[in-house]
Amino acid sequence: MAKKEKVKPEIKEFKNYQLLEGLSNRALFQIKSMLLERNYKKGELVFKKDYPQVVLYFVAKGDIKIYLDNDGEEIELIHKKQYEHFGEMALVLDSTRTASARAEEDSVLLAMTSKDFHEFVDKNPKAGVTLLFNISRYLSEILNRSNKKLEDNQK
């Protein structure tokens, strides 16, 4: 039978992020220590398409719009709100951003660099597998939704 861990107040909020699901309190404390808090004002750019992809963001507070710029016309892809994350491809791909992100209201983001992520996985293989599984599951869900949307548009 799995041992239940008592959640410490300092990491209680992290239990709400899908990407961190199933991680031990110890692993959550380690991740918390790696995160950098970044504050964005309404309208401020978080990153632009084609910027280097090196940071994953957790939304601690606010609303972040992910969008594409099509010759001056914005194509909204999704909004990310509290307890959601974005930029996870930065952890597994050495490429550039595929979309832009902007704060739609004053927002607080917690940033994890790909370097810190890789060090965490190297030092914590069991937690690393859980984290990589969560990323894979999340990206698979996005792919399934995209396929469904394309399929529905074909009808």
Distant-in-sequence, close-in-space partners of 66: CB < 8 Å, separation ≥ 6: 76, 77, 78, 79, 80, 86, 99, 100, 101
What would the mean pLDDT of 37-59 be, rounded to a whole number? 94
Tell whether the model's pLDDT for residue 129 goes beyond 90.
Answer: yes
Domain residue ranges of the chain, discontinuous segments joined by +? 12-149
pLDDT of residue 57: 96
pLDDT in tens, 65-123: 999 998 889 999 999 999 999 998 888 888 889 999 999 999 999 999 999 999 999 99
CATH of domain 12-149: 2.60.120.10
pLDDT of residue 24: 93
Which amino acid, 23?
Answer: L
Angle 53-58-63 from CA coordinates, rounded to 5°: 100
Q: How confident is the model at residue 7 (pLDDT cuts 50, 70, 90)?
A: low
pLDDT of residue 143: 86
Angle 144-99-104 from CA coordinates, rounded to 5°: 100
* N-to-C CA span, the chain: 48
- Would you call 43 exposed, middle or buried from its count of C-beta atoms within 10 A (0-12, 13-18, 19+)? exposed
What is the bridge-based pairing of β-strands 63-70 and 85-86? unpaired
